[in-house]
Chain A
Amino acid sequence: MRSCGDGPDPVAVRAVSPLPGASRMELLVESIAERVVNLVLDAIDINAIVSKVDVDALIDRVDVQKIIDRVDVDEIVSRVDVDQIVGRVDVEAIIERVDVEAIIGRVDIEQVIQRVDIDKLVEQTELGTIIAHSTSGVASEVLDVVRAQGVGLDDFVAKWVNRLLRRSSEDWPPGPPILVNPPLPVPALPLETSG
Chain B
Amino acid sequence: MKPEAWLLLPLAAISTSVYATSYFTVEQAQQAMFPGETLVPAFVTLSELQLAQISKLAGNDHGAGTLKVWKAASGWFFVDEVVGKHEFITYALALHEDGSIKQIEIMDYRETRGYEVRTPGWRKQFIGKTLRDPLQLNQDIGNISGATLSCQHITEGVKRLLASYAVAIK
Q: Do A and B share a complex?
A: no
Q: Which residues of A contact B (CB under 8 A)?
A: none
Q: Which residues of B contact A (CB under 8 A)?
A: none
